[in-house]
Each structure stands twice: as structure tokens, then as C-alpha cells.
């Protein structure tokens, strides 16, 4: 019987690699020449990304926290869970998740578990995301974080988990962390959250890249 489990592979070695675009901010774009079966080479462009964390926060009533944020690439307001980049060298992902929950929603949580580890779009980017489940949430102490740009005003809604599932299935939610996290949280809730991994579980897919530091390309 075949074991269904994703695993690293060395069957497609990289013959050469260049980085034609460096944003100087978050991403780089790398172009690899990859050895294929039959001794051929194929060109593959990769968006190099530092990765991120997302948080599915549930309150005592089983409602999930969603924030509305403008996303320019798709020119839409999307309802999303709190989330943030892993762009600080050496930062623990759980610490980053706690920071994002505090900064984006002014909340803290007493119970944390790993809900999902995912590659968001593996056909074009190496972005790896860990989605946590945060429970026993309460209002955070200390001053509220002041966001900037798209984060200056992000409305918050607490949505019953079953309703959030229906919204995702109806095509009303499109953020991948929201859709994946909501469906996974719903499945976990049916099992009384048994079997979730501890919040400090190993995450070998986590990227060591912490954002583009090269000179921005001229466009």
C-alpha cells in the first residue's frame, strides 16, 4: 500500500539558477533550469517567499474571527484570519502568530495548536504557511497596535463556524488561509479537537528566507 505523505525529492536537480528580480522588500523571483527525465532541461520560475503564519481564532461560542483587508493583486476586499509574514530572522513561528493576533485583533489566546501546514501555491512559489488554532481567547492588555497602509482600518467579524463553512462553500470567501483554516477547524471541532499537533511541533518546511535584501530591479 502506498503511503500518502508529501516528502522531499532529489529526482529533479537544478542545473543552473539565476535571480532576475529582487524586490528589495518581500519576494525574489528565481529562474531555475531543472533536469527532467530523458536528459532534458525545463525552465521553472519560482517566487521565493519568506512564508507566513495564520491564526484561526475561535471564541467560547464557536465563532471564528475574520478581518476584512484590501488585497491589491486581486483588487478585492477579502475576509481573512489574522496572519503575518515570517520576515524576522530567527523568529519562532508561534511567537509570530501570537504577535499577529495581538496586532491585528488586540487579542490573546491561552490555548494554541497546529491546525495545518501548507504550501499556498506550489506551482509558482515556495511560500509555506503554518495555520494555528487559537482558543480561550480574550482581550489583550496594553496599547492597541496602529497599522499602516491597507491595515489602517480592518473591520472585524466573529462568524459562527458552521456559517463560515457555508460562506466558503458558496464561493463568498477566497483567501486560502481562511478557506483551508475554516474547513480544517470545522473538521477538528467534530472530533472535539482531538489529534491536533502541539503548537511547538517541528515544521521542516519553514523557509529560512526572510525577505528580499537585494537591490530592487529596474522596471
Is 151 assigned a catalytic role? yes
DSSP per residue, 77-143? EEEE--EEE--STT--HHHHHHHHHHHHH-EEEEEEEEEEEEES-TTTB--EEEEEEEEEEEEPPSP
Closest C-alpha among 151, 137, 131 to residue 56: 131
The single residue listed with the C-alpha cell 462553500 is 169
Q: Quote the distance between the C-alpha of residue 55 and its chain's center.
A: 9
Closest C-alpha among 127, 161, 206, 154 to residue 56: 161
**Of 151, 157, 191, 205, which residue is the catalytic one?**
151
CB-CB contact of 137 with 121 (8 Å):
no
The single residue listed with the C-alpha cell 516528502 is 7
DSSP 162: H
Catalytically active residues are: 151
Amino acid at each position: 500500500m502506498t503511503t500518502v505523505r508529501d516528502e522531499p525529492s532529489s529526482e529533479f536537480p537544478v542545473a543552473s539558477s539565476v535571480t532576475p528580480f529582487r524586490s528589495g522588500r518581500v519576494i525574489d523571483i528565481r529562474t531555475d533550469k531543472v533536469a527532467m527525465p530523458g536528459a532534458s532541461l525545463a525552465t521553472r520560475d519560482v517566487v521565493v517567499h519568506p512564508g507566513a503564519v495564520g491564526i484561526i481564532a475561535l471564541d467560547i461560542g464557536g465563532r471564528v474571527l475574520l478581518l476584512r483587508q484590501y488585497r491589491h493583486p486581486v483588487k478585492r476586499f477579502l475576509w481573512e484570519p489574522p496572519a503575518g509574514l515570517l520576515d524576522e530572522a530567527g523568529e519562532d513561528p508561534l511567537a509570530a502568530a501570537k504577535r499577529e493576533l495581538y496586532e491585528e485583533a488586540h487579542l490573546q489566546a491561552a490555548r494554541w495548536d497546529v491546525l495545518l501546514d501548507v504550501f499556498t501555491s506550489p506551482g509558482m512559489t515556495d511560500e509555506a504557511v503554518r495555520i494555528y488554532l487559537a482558543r480561550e481567547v480574550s482581550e489583550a492588555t496594553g496599547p492597541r497596535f496602529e497599522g499602516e497602509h491597507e491595515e489602517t482600518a480592518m473591520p472585524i467579524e466573529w462568524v459562527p463556524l458552521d456559517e463560515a463553512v457555508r460562506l466558503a462553500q458558496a464561493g463568498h470567501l477566497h483567501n486560502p488561509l481562511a478557506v483551508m483554516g475554516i474547513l480544517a477547524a470545522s473538521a477538528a471541532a467534530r472530533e472535539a479537537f482531538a489529534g491536533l499537533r502541539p503548537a511547538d511541533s517541528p515544521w521542516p518546511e519553514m523557509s529560512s528566507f526572510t525577505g528580499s535584501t537585494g537591490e530592487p530591479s529596474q522596471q
